[in-house]
Chain A
């Protein structure tokens, strides 16, 4: 049997990998992928703790997190497409100044 804190440790490691990805990647799409990794790590925590406490609320919250992640990915990618049309590049460094 695997105790609960193994699942939480795995979730923590995945979350850190996602955070490192957001900092280290110079490509907007990969930054969004790293955000998805972070959301998944959180989902894993919820389901594990829900199972530990014997409550179904862990899975309910996961359901909502997935739906919100879908909405956020859709809008985020639409923004990336719109930005790409203006600057022809996907590096976040090109969008550091407010002046168009």
Chain B
């Protein structure tokens, strides 16, 4: 049951990501990325991390993607002819040639390296599964990582002010 769910979510994530980079309409790219985030949230639930799954939907799919959507609508981003997924298409200008080849090499290396590991199973004891409780995450976040937490809040403030200043229309 878990295995079937994993394969379904993995297939949705990969196909949606290929759709994001492979098709021309930018609005559709944004929506496909939201689908990919939803599939990843499903995978987080399979990994017994419900808090991360819900945070993924709230922050990524619910806030960051709305930002992208607004910018795409504001700039009226034109439809772009996607690079045809053929050998002739990808071996275009030099940068793309090198880039496409490097990405494929990266994918092959990672997949080959990881499949050389024997199947490493997750531990099934209740203690390991209990890491996901929200109170435990909150505990660790506010005690061991309190400095990083506070620094992140300043980071967000700076980013917010910076974004408003950079995107402001010059008068």
A interface residues (Cβ-Cβ under 8 A, vs B): 1-10, 12-27, 29-30, 32-34, 36-37, 40, 43-44, 47-48, 50-52, 54-60, 62-64, 66-75, 77-82, 84-85, 90
**Chain A interface secondary structure, helix, strand, loop or mixed?**
helix
B140 A60 Cβ-Cβ under 8 A: yes
Q: 1/0 per position for B25-63, CB-CB distance to A under 8 A? A: 010011001001100100110111101100110011001
Residue count of chain B within 8 Å CB distance of chain A: 85
**Chain B interface secondary structure, helix, strand, loop or mixed?**
helix
Collect the chain A residues with CB atoms within 8 Å of residue B95's CB: 23
Interchain Cβ contacts under 8 Å between A and B, 22 examples: A4-B121, A5-B115, A12-B110, A12-B114, A13-B111, A17-B14, A25-B83, A30-B29, A30-B80, A33-B33, A37-B21, A48-B47, A51-B47, A57-B140, A58-B49, A63-B55, A67-B155, A74-B162, A77-B167, A81-B74, A81-B167, A90-B75
CB distance from A11 to the nearest CB of B (A): 8
Collect the chain A residues with CB atoms within 8 Å of residue B13's CB: 10, 14
